[in-house]
Chain A
Amino acid sequence: MNRLAYIGFFIVAILIIVAVFAPFVATHDPTVQNLAMRFAAPSAEHWFGTDALGRDIFSRIVYGARISLQVGVTVTFISAFLGVVIGAIAGYYGGVIDKILSGYVFNVFLAFPGLLLAIALVAFLGAGIWKVIFALCVIGWVGYARVMRGQVLKVREMDFVQAARALGANDLRILFVHILPNSIQPIIVQASLGMAGAVLSEASLSFLGLGVPPPAPSWGTMIEEARGLDTLYNAPHVLFFPGIAIALTVLAFNFIGDGIREYLDPKQRRR
């Protein structure tokens, strides 16, 4: 595995530790306001400074990691699971089922600009972390389904699958014992890249005021609150730190995804 992937794992590991032990890592209560300390610059007391309401930015980022990871992990797992099942069905059974699924259903979902559909859904359902997760799964599963269908189409023609059929294995066994374990690798790569996408999408929705509602410290919400021109001039740290948090997280998951892809592709593997 390449060096960048290790950096990615390292960053994600820190992120997970921070998220799990947030109450111990945070220096302040992330929601307590202190209007006397508005826009305080980074200091020994407030490591990343304070925001418009005098809340400690470091603590908010620490708790924000929980939201980002929760959304990222849940969205990725649910959409990968749905995508794998639906894609496998389309690829394995083929025929009319495949024509309907990959010919129409997949294409309809792919034709929608993903985030726009998510915005519409959240606008319709109302804000809230589970609604965000739901909306992101609705737009997320189809990418996995398409990859999975292609994989299954390839693997199901392999001789060992025909051998299993000749030996009397039923459809379920062929699908789960023979096809799935041999088609899942690209899904793992896609899931780690999808994790980055989900984190970013949650931040985008929150930035638009359609994500996790305040006062919950979502990184996207924090950026949204700091986007006034005055703030940018006078207290750039309010924007800077949540921005860095998002960028680092997305980068880390992308490094991991690329690393796994390289690792799984023997042609690219360095010796």
Chain B
Amino acid sequence: MQNGSLISIENLKVYYKVGGVFSKKVVKAVDDVDLQIKRGETLGLVGESGCGKSSLGKAILRLIEPTEGKVIYNGVDLVKLSARQMREQRKHLQIIFQDPYSSLNPRMTVGQIIGEPIKTFGLAKGREVEERVQELMEAVGLSRRFVKRYPHEFSGGQRQRIGIARALALNPEFIVADEPISALDVSIQSQIMNLLEKLQAERKLTYLFISHDLRAVRHLSDRVAVMYLGKIVELASAKEIYEEPLHPYTKALISAVPIPDPEIEANRERIILKGDVPSPINPPQGCRFHTRCPFAIPECSIISPELVEIKPSHRVSCIRISKDHPDIKENAAKGLGVV
């Protein structure tokens, strides 16, 4: 385990079988991912839909069983634990879901929803449960009066607060926030982001913040990992990812974020990717991005690039980038191939 890391993911793979009984097709949702999540940080995880962000988040919590690899938390490999042992660890590892509608049982009251984990782990009894539920509701900005109401009586933002209160009920150390704001109105998004920040400061939480909203990730994250077709292609501090993206895919993603200034917006250079994300059932050989990469060379379809440190704490997986030649555009202009 690396210094200061709370969770260390090693060679994690999540494969899904698809098709009928005799089908040998496999979707490689997460393919050989290594990632360290540091204590107290927010690690942003971005990528297009279907790139495996959610699968990665859920595999850490074993809500999806990983096919292979390790998830080391406090020196324990979660993947190897029995169901009973894993249950004990769940107190420390929680999740907030994307859809505030389907993530709350429509037949339970808010009090029951938030109180359920407290009861299943026997953390409190009788009146005490109620008190803790009400404390949690206040911590996430919900009135105590709502305790007997049902989820359908709330707005999306309020429901998301209920989901957050439920995740906090067990006093976790680590929370996977699986696109927690994607389903909300823009005006509500910032409220929820501020709430997440406030709770992080108060409770010393560590977040894995999954999103395709690049601005939200920039606002919340200390470091950002960019995922493409099951692999991490770039990992750096949020500032660097946004100001000096190195991987051509990251460059394209960042250039897709609109800038709220018409002059800059009209004149800036944008990288528009051709085509769609290839099917994860049959991902491209070599670098998975080569089919859409404006800088692809023949070697890209053969060599599978490793995630290597190009600058201090800035890792990129691209064969046309190296420590000495970090700028792919320049490399391409000079006619450098594999560097």
Taking beta carbons and an 8 Å cutoff, which residues of A are in contact with B? Answer: 158-160, 162-170, 173, 177-178, 181-182
- For A168, the chain B residues whose CB sits under 8 A away are 87, 90-91, 117, 120-121, 170
Q: How many residue pairs bridge A and B at CB < 8 Å? A: 57
Contacting residues, chain B, for A166 (C-beta < 8 A): 61, 63, 90, 93-95
Chain A residue with Cβ nearest B97: A159
Query: Which B residues, 1 to 43, have Cβ-Cβ distances below 8 Å to chain A?
Result: none
CB distance from A89 to the nearest CB of B (A): 18
Check if A181 sits within 8 Å of B61, measured CB to CB.
no
Q: Is the interface of A mostly helix, strand, loop or mixed?
A: helix
Contact A158 B102 (CB under 8 A): yes
Pairwise interchain contact A169-B99, C-beta atoms closer than 8 A = no
Categorize the interface residue count of chain B. Answer: 20 to 34
Q: How distant is A248 from chain B, measured CB to nearest CB, in Å?
A: 35
Which chain A residue shows the least CB distance to B121? A168
Chain A residues positioned under 8 Å from B107 (CB to CB): 181-182
B97 touches A167 (CB 8 A): no
Alpha-carbon separation in the docked complex, A141 to B87 (Å): 35
What are 7 A-to-B residue pairs whose CB atoms are below 8 Å?
A159-B99, A163-B95, A163-B103, A163-B104, A164-B105, A169-B120, A173-B120
Please tell me if B278 contacts chain A, counting CB pairs below 8 Å.
no
Q: How far is the CA of A167 from the CA of B105 in the complex (A)?
A: 13
Contact B102 A160 (CB under 8 A): yes
Cβ A162 vs Cβ B97 within 8 A? yes
A163's closest neighbor in chain B, by CB? Answer: B103
**Most chain A beta carbons < 10 A, residue from B58, B91, B105, B121:** B105
In the assembled complex, the Cα of A159 lies from the Cα of B169 at a distance in Å of 17
In B42-66, the 8 Å CB interface with A consists of 58, 61, 63
Closest 9 A/B residue pairs (Cβ)? A159-B103, A167-B117, A159-B97, A160-B105, A168-B90, A159-B102, A181-B107, A158-B102, A168-B87
Shortest CB-to-CB span from B31 to chain A, Å, is: 22
Minimal beta-carbon separation of A188 from chain B (angstroms): 14
Contact partner of A178 (CB less than 8 A), chosen from B58, B90, B105, B117, is B105
A170 to B90: give the CA distance in the assembly, Å: 12
Is B173 in contact with chain A by the CB < 8 A criterion? no
Chain A residues, Cβ within 8 Å of B116:
164, 167, 169
CA distance A168 to B88 in the complex (A): 8
Interface string of B69-103 (1 = CB under 8 A from A): 00000000000000000010011011101110011
Residues of A within 8 A of B290 (CB): none
Q: Could you tell me the distance between the alpha carbons of A164 and B120 in the complex, rounded to whole angstroms?
A: 10
Q: Are A167 and B90 in contact (CB under 8 A)?
A: yes
Check: B106 CB closer than 8 A to any chain A CB: yes
CB distance from B210 to the nearest CB of A (A): 14
Whole-angstrom distance between the Cβ of A158 and the nearest chain B Cβ:
5
Contact present for B117 and A162 (CB under 8 Å): no
